[in-house]
Structure 1
Amino acid sequence: MPRTWLITGCSGGFGKEISKAALALGDNVVATSRNESKLADLAESGVHTVSLDVNAPQKDINAVVAEVISKYGSIDVLVNNAGYILEGGVEEASDEEARAHFDTNVFGQLAVARAVLPYMRAKKSGTIANMGSIAGWRGGINCGLYCSTKFALAGITEALKKEVQPLGISVVLIEPGYFRTDFLSGGHKVTPKKTIEDLVPVIKPLKDMFSMYDHKQPGDPVKGAQLIVEALTGTGRCAGRQLPDRLAIGSDAVAMISGVLEHKKKELDDWKDLAVTTDISD
């Protein structure tokens, strides 16, 4: 029996490629975007397309999910993929810009999960994949706010996994490295209106690197999407494997995360002798 997928942020990149890979399995795929017209090619291929703004009021998101349930009877896999990068210094981002970033990258994912989870709980089955990033492992110059949204998603996803696992629901954080999509350009990347001259010497080299790296990233989004679909369905190369809390995608992701873990372990060991002296002496 075919599964039903609900995937957000499908106008390009991973959202579009995951939709194609899931459809190739013979599953029902519901692809969403704020602008449904950007999904015309997916609609022509047999994907059901819907307009969905993850920043819309909860009742509107609930209504979209209810329509999907009415059409297909269930949502078996939710992929929370919608998001963008706010590029710039932490201090440069205004309160409005920072909150808007969290609204899409964090609270938008929470809102869609809230709408879908009651149906998964009723069936005692389902899989939720939140789209994180290797940015959720280390805060970086020029992308600190973006990193912070991915750190937040890591905590939310790990907690949610533990809460709903006894109910038969799987939850995983997908953490891609750099893949050759439009994520570093176009409408997926915005910059703060404010520039702080004191920060330019630190930030500009990273900003230039992002620009030079655009469309030269090592990851193939088609291959990445295929692995994600196999992992979420337990098919192909992932048959018999249990989903991890955080699934790294890309050789650069594996290398970077390994380096972060080694560095953090060293820092912990370097300060352990003092850290353990702070307990109450009973």
Structure 2
Amino acid sequence: MSSSTPQTPNVWFIAGASSGFGKHLALEALSRGDSVIAASRHTSGPALSDLSDRGAILLDLDVTASDETIRAAFARGESALLGSASKVHHITHFVNAAGYILEGPIEAASQQEIFDSFNVNVLGIMNMTKNEIGWLRKRGQTRRGQAGRSVIANFGSLGSWRGGPAFAYYAAAKWAVSGFTESLAAEVKELGIDACVIEPGYFRTGFLNPGGGHRITMRDPLDAEYTGTQVEHLRGLLEQVKDQQPGDVVKGCKVIVDALTRSGSAQGKEVPVRLPLGQDCVDVIEGKMAETQALIDDWRAVITKTDHE
């Protein structure tokens, strides 16, 4: 497959583009001559000024908004590109990168905190995705991707593979996103759309830094009740790893753009249903596979006695 060129650019619609992977994906795509529509809940501050300076179209959009609001944002983005110097104004790549971690023990979460977490991390992604499918299908964009297909990419995590204390709701959300995207990939393949769930390990994106809106501690995390437990230990580890994560987000985004455009290091490959990122994520997945196989081997004689004779 040919790599992206100024004559055949891709058009990226990135939800959650104000920071982290969303922002660095936008920067990487722009560096390759592609067009970017960068969406975030608030785009008026300085966080997105560098994207605007490089030619990105900025849009305010909450991923939990109504279907009508989301589709109107798609239309505004394409209209803005049509009025710019861009030679292509139809969206070819949708990326849903909005999300945050709700930190604390399971019993400490309020119903509102649980709902808010799933509303953004799961329902928001589902909300965006279903509108993206319809947008690509109805507007005939399913053949416009750089390798001949359009792409919808959602963000999972290393937490899609392994749960643990103090981040149960985040792990549950990411497992849901990965399962949803795996189903999505099978459902839209015949429409000419590829789907991929990106599953990063620990990357230095600022995700764990307090005050950025991506790491939310429960209002009453029951610190005294969980003193000396694995919940306290894990929360301490998150503090230690903050800004020391092994993953380089710039390198990660180069791999993502390569994979989603089937170019560069992904030349000749199909868009993968799952795209784990980082040696730490690979280690977790391989460990999970080994543990699961060991469980099946140990219980096979018991768990296979359930069929009708």
State the TM-score bracket (shorter-chain normalisation): over 0.9
CA contact (8 A) 1:75 1:116 kept: no
Matched, 1:143 2:167: yes
* 1:5-154 matches, cutoff 5 A: 5-36=12-43, 37=45, 38-72=47-81, 73-121=89-137, 122-125=140-143, 126-154=150-178
**Distance across 2 between alignment mates of 1:147 and 1:57:** 26
Given residue 66 of structure 2, which amino acid in structure 1 is its aligned partner? P
User: Residue deviations 1:60-107, cap 9 Å, x none?
Assistant: 112111212334442100110000000111111111101100111111
Q: Distance in 2 between matches of 1:268 and 1:200?
A: 35
- Distance of 1:215 and 1:268 partners within structure 2: 38
| TM-score, normalised with respect to structure 2 | 0.88
- 1:213 corresponds in structure 2 to 241
- 1:170 equivalent in structure 2: 194
Residue in 2 aligned with 1:272? Answer: 300
- Paired residues in the alignment total 281
Displacement, 1:112? 1.5
Other structure's SS at 2:197 match: strand
* Identical pairs, percent: 40
**190-199 vs 24-33, greater mean Cα deviation:** 190-199
Tell me by how many angstroms 1:181 deviates: 1.2
Assess if the C-alpha contact under 8 Å between 1:30 and 1:47 holds in 2. Answer: yes
* Aligned match of 2:227: 200
8 Å CA contact 1:65–1:115 kept in 2: the answer is no
Measure the CA separation in 2 of the matches of 1:31 and 1:40.
Answer: 11
Partner SS for 1:29: strand
Deviation at 1:217, TM superposition (A): 0.2
**Separation (CA, whole Å) in 2 of partners of 1:271 and 1:201:** 33
Q: Distance in 1 between matches of 2:208 and 2:194?
A: 30
The question of 1:256 aligning with 2:296 is answered no
2:214 is aligned, of 176, 182, 188, to 188
Contact 1:106 1:149 in 2 (8 A): yes
Moved more, 43-52 or 79-88: 43-52
More helix by share: 1
**TM-score, L = length of structure 1:** 0.96
Please give the root-mean-square deviation of Cα atoms over the aligned residues, in Å.
Answer: 1.2
Deviation of 1:13 after TM superposition, in Å, equals: 1.0
CA distance in 1, matches of 2:128, 2:160: 20
Aligned-partner Cα distance in 2 for 1:156–1:82: 16
Q: Match for 2:205: what amino acid?
A: T
Q: Distance in 1 between matches of 2:49 and 2:218?
A: 31
Shift of 1:124: 2.6
Contact 2:92 2:141 in 1 (8 A): no
Gaps of 5+ in 1: none
Q: Distance between the aligned counterparts of 1:150 and 1:273, measured in 2?
A: 32
